Structure 1
Amino acid sequence: MKQDFFSNLKSDLPASIVVFFVALPLCLGIALASGAPLFSGLIAGIVGGIVVGSLSGSKIGVSGPAAGLAAIVLTAISNLGGYENFLVAVVLGGIIQILFGFLKAGIIGYYFPSSVIKGMLTGIGIIIILKQIPHFFGYDTSPVEDFAFFQIDGENTFSGIFKAFKNISLGSTIIGIIALSILLLWSNVLSNKGKFFQLVQGPLVAVVAGIVYFFITQSDSKFGIHISHLVSVPVPENIDSFLNQFSFPNFGAITNPDIWVVAFTIALVASLETLLCVEATDKLDPHKNVTPTNRELLAQGTGNIISGMIGGLPITQVIVRSSANIQSGGRSKISAIIHGFFLLISVILIPTLLNKIPLSVLAAILLIVGYKLAKPALFKKMYDLGWKQFIPFTVTVIGIVFIDLLWGIGLGLAVGVVVILIKSFQNSHFLHKEDISNGVQKMKMTLAEEVTFFNKGAILKELDALPENSYLELDVRKTRYLDNDIVEILEDFAVKAKERNIDIKIISERGVVENPPSYIDFFKLRPISA
């Protein structure tokens, strides 16, 4: 075990550095988008890394504050009468998540189609790219992780990009291009040149270059970077001011029913986001590890209880951080835990140095992350799989880009369900017409393994189309479940069959019966069920 730890550390340490630089601005951006204290986002990132990372069964998943909860948090803080009251809902939400874990609710994530999960990853990749373009050019009016189409600054995704092109900051753009060049050179060329370039990751070099550039050009009004285009970590003056940044829940408000509503909402949305992220992360994992979902809910619930108790935002597993971890070679949960310690140490010891990192450098890192999630080749691959995969995939992507994450997933899932219904409608039975003998046309209908009320229309249409004076052989030998709605259709058709002189023979595993007087009684005596 010890040998595995040090063996994985060679991969996990560089990956944790990348995740740290990705997580830092996102923690701050989500706090800002949520209308919460900036430090609350860092608390959630630290707890998500150290606590949830330690308890989780995921080897490469990384947890922290999530953009999908920002709108809920923003509204809740106002409606509940303050941040301390909101923290009570976070703690209660964590308790409810633990209850979900004990109730084995983690299985829910497995019921989302693969096309929707892939669409979620691609949509997030595209939205990361679109949202980071303004920051890359030094237009930082919106939070770094304001991922909704309609931003809190009044702009939308595309108007924000257009305004960025009209308000380009030369210094931010120059160092952004330099950082992006370093990242591409490092990953495509230098990483194959020796162990040094594998141990020291490109994002770290890009960040160092950004800090050096800031110091060199800070007195230059044309090529320098304004303070508004830098990371903004709260800087405590002493131990007391650092401790004063923590907030604590006001449990006196626990009797407020609105707090319980918010708590359940947080638990439900955070659990769903986590389970979807787990499913997506496991698909991205080159080693195909499988995360125990119920254990993940227990870990997330514990993390939310601790985060809420000390003033942090709600936590989920987050695909942006997790995918950065995978792309950087993370092998075990150690990378997530170390990134949490990096966040903790940095906000205590070097917040002033962190505040010298240009946001355009971090945007360059995220542009690479976004591209790896949304490679153009994936669209062709999904198209080649057929419309049943491509349409839910595309709808999910469009929903995420033009509305937000949860809407995109919901729309993709709805389309996926419709596709399933269409497939079920088409695959309920097989009708084969045989030659006419003695003036009677023989028809053979074979029912599928499972036939439900979704198949009523297709089967009824086929039965009504049978010609008069024909012979129907109904084969149910492969059928394991036959819905009562279908049995009633057969019962009703028996009356029509007599009027149209159609003879019916049922072939089942239990024998052959011709023109049974009652189909309901026949299947009741010889039940077909799952």
Structure 2
Amino acid sequence: MIQKSTKSNFISGFLVFLIALPLCLGISKASGFPPIAGIYTAIIGGLIVTFLSKAPLAIKGPAAGLIAIAIGAVEELGGNDPFLGYQLTLAVIVVSGILQILMGIAKFGKMGDMFPISVIRGMLAAIGVIIISKQIHVIMGVVPQSKSPWDLLAEIPHSILHLNPKVTVIGLLSLALLFGHPYIKNSTIKKLPAPLLILLMAIPLGFVFNLSQAHSYTLGALQYEIKPAQFLVVLPDSFMSGITFPDFSQLLSYTSIKYILMFTLVGSIESVLSAKAVDALDPKGRETNLNQDLVAVGIGNTIAGLIGGLPMISEIVRSSANINAGAKGRMSNFYHGLFLFLFVLLAAAIIKIIPNAALAAMLVYTGFKLASPTEFKKINSVGLDQISQFLTTLVVTLLTDLLVGVAAGIALKIAIELVQGVKVREMFDLKTQVAAAEDGMVIKFSGVASFINYLKFKTLIDAQPKNQKIVLDFSEAYFIDHTFLNNIHNIQNKFTKEGGELIKAGFENHHFQSKHHLSTRRLINNPYRKTSIPSALSKRATIIQKMAMANGLDFEAHLSPSFVRPYLSAFSILTRLRRAKNFVLGTREHYSFMICDISYVNVGDFSTETNSATIALIFNIAKGGVPDFYTQKNSDLFHLANQYDFELMPKSKDLPFEVYGNNASLTDSFFTPKMATLIAEQPYQIECKRREMLIHKDWQRISEGASMEDFLHYVDQLASEVVRKRLEEATVNKM
């Protein structure tokens, strides 16, 4: 097992290295630092911080979210001398690293929970816009004259008119590859990380366009200049010669203090939230000690600042890639840092031929994800109060800086609560009553449940055993904000994993800010609840109930999630399950099955988004003849092989789909022609573990009516064929 874990960590560390290399270079250049600075940071994060943090799967390294702060510090502190600004910024990073260490010791690891979610996402969106405004010009090979984000955006038409065609071709092709990567059909190519594909395309194009040699060329009547120092990555002569020491001479200036606070605050929040998001993706459900992690990151940042590196955080994109590549533990972070170190030592010449336009494209893509229209739509769906906080933080940050933007967003949040009748003292005073119940306990709220007093609730709930049922009764709470509800939604996962339940209740008389299930609510009439028929089934539940009755099956609209949990214990979806409803239950002669709707979470950068799906479970199949496997018709699911330790099975039967499993002979003999046809002709994914079969339609909800009826028929057909095959084998064995 140890040897297998080492192999998985080694491979995933190598794959993350391929992604991290160009991102470290691009983030460094965008931050006004030498390209080598980002690599120094990732090496420290891998070789040193790995053993200080013990975060199971997080990758430590420079992050795009700190670009805006870093470039602002370099420009403000250095004035017209970028190198001086770089040295003065290093001193700022050292001090902010020390502050992070002190914050971790003081147990500030929970600080990410006490900031309004929409303010944080507005800050990140502003960072995305800043990144785009600066890097879009690099894609076109133009040096802009402006400095502020608004002016840089306004200067884009000018850059388009004066673009360098050779450089722009590389930049635009890189950008197209990034946006098009999710739609690639070829499974082999799709498995390659997009940054690696960009390098495989951009470096040869750099040779074709002769970017390494200074020259001029004409296109039509226009002449263009190629300057290698501008268009290619520049590295120091040796790894050690790039080390730069900080300049502490302006440490007590207002500008330095401002950026110390910004690096400390934003860096710590990003790192804590990223670590929590990575934990939610961990198939084993492990949790990072956030205070210890903050201390480790602070030590890493202090060392990075002392030798010329960027600040680091637990980086979500690389961490997600690490998990999908099959990492089993923290050593994958170590190997990623080791590969970066060896590559810079032994193959620096390759780095020097990477076009800057390709790196800029990666950053523009990152900026777009942070500030995408989808992000605006998600925030807007939660309510007018959330989109107003989001936009205020975004706009004020672009006009001023991150600290002022975040402060403006929080001030608006507090003002909105005051307008809605919340008193200032109530924001800080969390009123709860704890009472024992027959199967657990009830926590009853009164007054206000706000982002400001959430940490008091967190202390209370953390002290309770997670293997019990706890009902959170908000029936007498006057005001409950979105951040408070979202944080509760996130910690429900802990209870789920340990066999307990955390249930929110008592919203019958509350007004919801929107139809979103986590929207802010106040204790008045709720326009989204039909109080006249509280026990009525939903339209979907009614249709499914009629279908179940017509087929002689049992139906239950609402059962505890603990009912379905034992059947999902072998499957990776269990850790992300939130609720289940609309149960159709059936028992046949040789098997039983259950069909239900579930809500589950997909983990984004800094919060969880809830999705719905319809699943079927076939169980109580007698022992023998049913291997562990899953079918694959969607190449996005290839990472399941790493989660289950499965391998691609040989297609000796020429199956029209891929099968992953851990027993080639048993899996191969299992698929009869009829079974293969059933699986191939229907759009369902099959996962089988411990003789229980999980069936779903690419984790989507199946519409009621005819589609649900077809799904039921399919489950019966597949289960009958599995049983027929098993009985046939049992008869042969008896003979």
2:148 is aligned, of 150, 155, 172, to: 150
Tell me which of 177, 200, 212 is aligned to 2:204.
Answer: 212
Structure 1 Cα separation of the partners of residues 105 and 98 of structure 2: 11
What does residue 518 of structure 1 align with? Answer: none
The aligned runs of 1:346-365 (5 Å cut-off) are 346-365=343-362
Deviations 1:334-365 (A, max 9, x none): 56544444443343333332222112212222
Q: How does 1:385-404 map to 2 (within 5 A)?
A: 385-404=382-401
Cα distance in 1 for partners of 2:423, 2:388 equals: 18
Q: Tell me which stretches of 4 or more aligned residues in structure 1 moved more than 4 Å.
A: 8-12, 37-42, 73-79, 81-93, 222-225, 256-267, 282-286, 288-291, 327-339, 426-429, 477-480
The corresponding residue for 1:372 is 369
Give the distance between the partners of 2:141 and 2:407, measured in 1 at CA.
Answer: 34
Deviation at 1:116, TM superposition (A): 1.6
Q: 1:173 aligns to what? A: 168
Residue 42 of structure 2 contacts residue 337 of structure 2 at CA under 8 Å; is this kept in 1?
yes
SS of the residue 2:31 aligns to: helix
Distance 1:451 1:356, change over 3 A: closer
Q: Which of 38, 62, 72 is the matching residue for 2:60?
A: 62
Q: 1:46-82 deviations in whole A, cap 9, x for unaligned? A: 3244433553337335333733144345555789x99
Check whether the contact 2:74–2:88 (CA below 8 A) recurs between aligned residues: no
1:135 aligns with 2:131: no
CA deviation profile, 1:150-188 (whole Å, cap 9, x unmatched): 27xxx9321342331121110011122322333344321
Separation of aligned partners in 2, 1:164 and 1:207: 24
Instruction: Give the conservation status (yes or no) of the 8 Å contact 1:52–1:303.
Output: yes
**CA deviation digits over 1:250-293, x for unaligned, max 9?**
8xx8xx89559888766543331123213543575562775433
Match of 1:287 in 2: 281
- Aligned mate of 2:217, from 204, 214, 221: 221
Stretch moving more, 277-286 or 364-373: 277-286
Q: Does 1:46 align with 2:38?
A: no
Q: Distance in 1 between matches of 2:477 and 2:366?
A: 48
2:177 match: 182
Match of 2:446 in 1: 449
Q: Is the aligned partner of 1:382 residue 2:379? A: yes
Contact 1:138 1:173 survives alignment (8 Å): yes
Q: Once structures 1 and 2 are overlaid, which stretch shifts more, 401-410 or 17-26?
A: 401-410
User: Quick one: which amino acid aligns to residue 175 of structure 2?
Assistant: L
Residue 231 of structure 1 corresponds to 232
CA distance in 1, matches of 2:368, 2:74: 29
Structure 2 Cα separation of the partners of residues 295 and 449 of structure 1: 34
Deviations 1:383-413 (A, max 9, x none): 2221121111122222344444333323222
* Structure-2 change in CA distance of 1:451 and 1:122 (3 Å): closer
Indicate the SS of the match to 1:221: strand
Tell me what 1:30 maps to.
31
Gap runs ≥5 in structure 2: 220-224, 427-444, 450-474, 479-735
Residue 166 of structure 2 is aligned to residue 159 of structure 1 = no
Are 2:101 and 1:104 equivalent residues in the alignment? Answer: no
- Equivalent position amino acid for 1:117 in 2: I
Q: Cα gap change, 1:383/1:83 in structure 2, threshold over 3 Å: closer, same or farther?
A: closer
Q: In structure 1, how many angstroms separate the alpha carbons of the residues matched to 2:174 and 2:268?
A: 34
Mean CA deviation greater in 17-26 or 291-300: 291-300
For residues 96-131 of structure 1, give each alpha carbon's deviation from its aligned partner in whole angstroms, at most 9, with x where no partner exists.
Answer: 332221111223222101112222333333333333
Higher percent of residues as helix: 1
**Against the structure 1 CA distance between its residues 157 and 414, is the aligned structure 2 distance closer, same or farther, given a 3 Å change threshold?**
farther
| Distance across 1 between alignment mates of 2:381 and 2:341 | 46
Q: CA-atom RMSD, angstroms? A: 4.2
Gaps of 5+ in 1: 143-147, 430-447, 453-476, 481-530
2:189 to 176, 197, 203: 197
Indicate conservation of the 8 Å contact 1:90/1:304, yes or no.
yes
After superposition, the Cα gap between the structure-2 partners of 1:50 and 1:326, relative to the gap in structure 1 and judged at 3 Å, is same
Amino acid at match of 2:27: L
Given that residues 281 and 320 in structure 2 are in contact (C-alpha distance below 8 angstroms), is that contact kept between their aligned partners in structure 1? Answer: no
More strand by share: 2
Deviation at 1:24, TM superposition (A): 0.9
* Aligned CA distance change for structure 1 residues 214 and 93 (closer, same or farther; 3 Å): closer
Question: Which residue of 100, 119, 122 maps to 1:119?
Answer: 122
TM-score w.r.t. length of structure 2: 0.48
* Identity over aligned pairs, percent: 26
Q: Is 1:312 the equivalent of 2:313? A: no
Q: TM-score, normalised by structure 1?
A: 0.65
Task: Give the partner amino acid of 1:312.
Answer: G
Distance in 1 of aligned mates of 2:263 and 2:178: 32
Q: Does the CA contact (< 8 Å) of 2:93 and 2:311 recur in 1?
A: no
Secondary structure at the aligned position of 1:315 is classed as coil
Q: Which moved more, 1:332-341 or 1:274-283?
A: 332-341
| Contact 2:184/2:190 (8 A) holds in 1 | no
Aligned counterparts of 1:401 and 1:84: Cα–Cα separation in 2: 25
Is this contact kept in 2: 1:23–1:45, CA < 8 A? yes
After superposition, the Cα gap between the structure-2 partners of 1:449 and 1:186, relative to the gap in structure 1 and judged at 3 Å, is closer
Shift of the alpha carbon at 1:317?
1.8
Q: Is the 8 A contact 1:12 1:331 kept in 2?
A: no
